[in-house]
Amino acid sequence: MLPRPIEYTNFRCNEFISVKRKYRAPLYLQRGPAGSIGKRKTMPSNVLENKIAIVVGAGQTPGSTMGNGRATAIAFARAGASVVAVDRDMASAGETAGLILAEGGQAMAVQADITSEAAIVAMVRQVMETHGRIDILHNNVGIAGAGGDAPVEDISVEAFDLLANLNLKGMMLTCKHVLPAMRAQRSGCVLNVASTAAYALYPNVAYKATKMGVLGLTQHIAMTYAEHGVRANAILPGLIDTPMAIEARVRLTGKPREQIVAERNAMVPLRGRMGTSWDVAHAAVFLASDQAGFITGVQLPVDGGALARLGP
């Protein structure tokens, strides 16, 4: 059965909007491999019970698979967290919140452009006014080739600035305005999604440089805020079957989707296939949980062994 019509509440920065909407899940959420939405109505575990989790980039790029941000938001909710789904596309953030509520979880949607400090300040204020605390900040926003990335001699200043603002400055801004709450409560977990492109061979300069910057940002937070009980870790997805990775390459290269998928699968040592957004989401749930309470400052590749293959 499809999820029944549901009611969910949308939160925009500086305004409160109640929206009634009949929701039917896209086909890729109605059926699929283990880990997809399927017919599940309840949360399978409670490792994040009573946690307030902000997922930045919780919307969805159009495509036939699920993105990392949406999968992580759903996985957090299944683990018991109350999720704040943040995206610049309010409709997409609201859809993610609707999926969580349809399963019996707790979620609200917030519209915010993370390159705007004023929008981040307003978002954090709303979360604190609603929940009174923030336990998890998961930063999942990023852009690559679609933003005009190119080798260093070919990239425009405008393209470099676009990627730097979104991939790095935006994460810095969310951390800047969430960390005071975590420091005051003497607990919290920051998860920043970087990429194996920071270390692997990668043809374009801005994505690689900004994702390496995310690692530096995360290490700085881990060391600076450890005395306040706040942890910070980076997740480095490798070749993952997401709309942003696949559909963007189809548009940019003109190759058939099947060829793009086959080429990427062939580059992964483990089972010869890309990972899914659920692989990234499950890593995030673990790092956000108290089971990882003594883990901070790490860079966790989720890549099927691709980085290990580089070797010395």
Hey, what CATH class is 6-304 in? alpha beta
- 240: CB partners within 8 A, 6+ apart: 68, 274, 275, 276, 277, 279, 280, 302
The stretch 85-105 carries a mean pLDDT of 98
Q: How many Cβ atoms are within 10 Å of 57's Cβ, its own excluded?
A: 30
Question: What are the tokens at 251?
Answer: 């548009």
- Using CA of residue 180, residue 186, residue 189, residue 194, what is the dihedral sign? positive
What is the chain's mean pLDDT, rounded? 88
How far is the C-alpha of 56 from the C-alpha of 54, rounded, in Å?
Answer: 6
Catalytic site includes residue 199: no
CA separation for the pair 182, 193 (Å, rounded): 19
DSSP output for 90-150: HHHHHHHHHHHHHTT-EEEEEE--TT-HHHHHHHHHHHHHHHS---EEEE-----GGGT--
> Quick check: 44 pLDDT over 50?
no
Q: What is the pLDDT of residue 138?
A: 99
Crossing angle for the helix pair 170-185 and 117-131, to the nearest 10 degrees = 30
Residues 66-84 have pLDDT tens digits of 999 999 999 999 999 999 9
Find the Cα–Cα–Cα–Cα dihedral 72, 78, 84, 85, rounded to 10°. 40
Residue 214, both tokens: 């995310």
Considering the candidates 8, 23, 28, 207, report the single residue annotated as catalytic.
207
Mean pLDDT of 260-281: 96
Which of the four pLDDT bands, split at 50, 70 and 90, describes residue 214? very high
Task: Give residue 156's pLDDT band: very low, low, confident or very high (50, 70, 90).
Answer: very high
Average pLDDT over residues 71-99: 98
Stated pTM of the model: 0.85
Least trusted range by pLDDT, from 43-47, 94-98, 207-211 = 43-47
Task: Please report the pLDDT score of residue 75 as a whole number.
Answer: 98
What confidence score (pLDDT) does residue 49 get? 98
